[in-house]
Copies of this chain bind each other. A is one copy, B any other.
C-alpha cells in the first residue's frame, strides 16, 4: 500500500498534510457503542472521539466529513444528526461534506467521521517521549468505563454515564500543552495500553504508579480497573522532569531506557493485569 509522507508510517492516530491534521474514526453499533445508547449521544460521541485526536496534536478544528449510513429509522437518524450537530457547534468544527448511504435491512449501524484540524507551530507525536520524561494524564480516568457499566444496566451516578456517552475532548488543554510536551496522545483504549503504545513508539520502557492515578471521588472501581477501561478521551503526555503543566494534570509515571510496562503501588511492584485495555481490532 503506497503511504503518504504525512502518514508518519501510520504510527500515530493522525496524519499531516501541510499545516492540516487529519484523523478518522468509525463507530459501529455493538462494538463501539451499545444499541441502547441514545442516538443523540452516538452522534455527539462520533464527533468527540475525532476531536480528541485533534486535541492530542494541539490542533484547532477546521471541518469534517461524515459517512452516514441511514438506519431505516428516520427518527433515530434525525436524533443522531442532532447530537452530532451539537458537538460540531460546541467545538467549532463545521461540516464540509460527506456521503449518505442506505444499509441492507438488519445491518448494524455504522458511522465514520473524518476530522481536519489546523496545526499549531508544534505537533507532538506519540513517538517522541525521552528517557527520564514523566508521564502525565489530564482529568480523571476510568469514569467512562464505569459509565459503560451503568449503561449496561448497573447502578451509578448520572455523571459517569455522561462521561461514557458524551466525552468532552480536551481541545483547550491540547492547545496549551502541544508547544510544551515531548509526546502526546489521547487515552481511548485505556491508560495502560495507551501508555505502553507511547513507550513502544518511543522505544522506551514506561512505569506507572497505580496509586497516583487520578480517580474521581465517586469512582466506584479499583485503580487497575480505571487504568484498563476505555473511552476516557483524556490526554496522555510525556514531559521532562520538573515540568509544571499549564492545565489540570497528574503525573502518573516515568519513561526510561528499556522496553515494556511496569506497574507499582506505594513503591512496590504490581503484577500486570491480563488485559491492558480495550482493543477494537488487531
Which residues of A pack against B, CB within 8 Å?
A: 1-7, 10, 12-15, 17, 20, 22-26, 28-32, 62-63, 65-67, 69-70, 81, 84-85, 88-89, 92-104, 107-108, 110, 112, 114, 116, 280-282
Contacts and interface: CB of A to CB of B under 8 A. Distances in A.
Count of this chain's copies in the oligomeric assembly? 2
A50 to B, nearest CB: 9
Contact of A30 (B62, B65, B104): B104
B99 A7 contact: no
Given A94-B4, A112-B112, A101 B280 contact: yes
Contacts of A30: 104
A69 B99 contact: no
A10 B281 contact: no
Given A65-B114, A85-B1, A26 B101 contact: yes
Name the 8 nearest CB pairs between A and B, nearest first: A15-B96, A15-B97, A4-B94, A4-B63, A1-B85, A2-B94, A67-B112, A114-B114
Contacts of A99: 24-26, 112
23 contacts: A1-B81, A2-B89, A2-B95, A4-B63, A6-B63, A7-B95, A7-B96, A10-B95, A10-B97, A14-B97, A17-B116, A20-B20, A23-B97, A24-B65, A24-B67, A24-B97, A24-B114, A28-B101, A31-B102, A100-B281, A100-B282, A104-B108, A107-B107
Nearest to A24: B65
B101 A3 contact: no
A92 B2 CA distance: 8
B101 A15 contact: no
A134 to B, nearest CB: 29
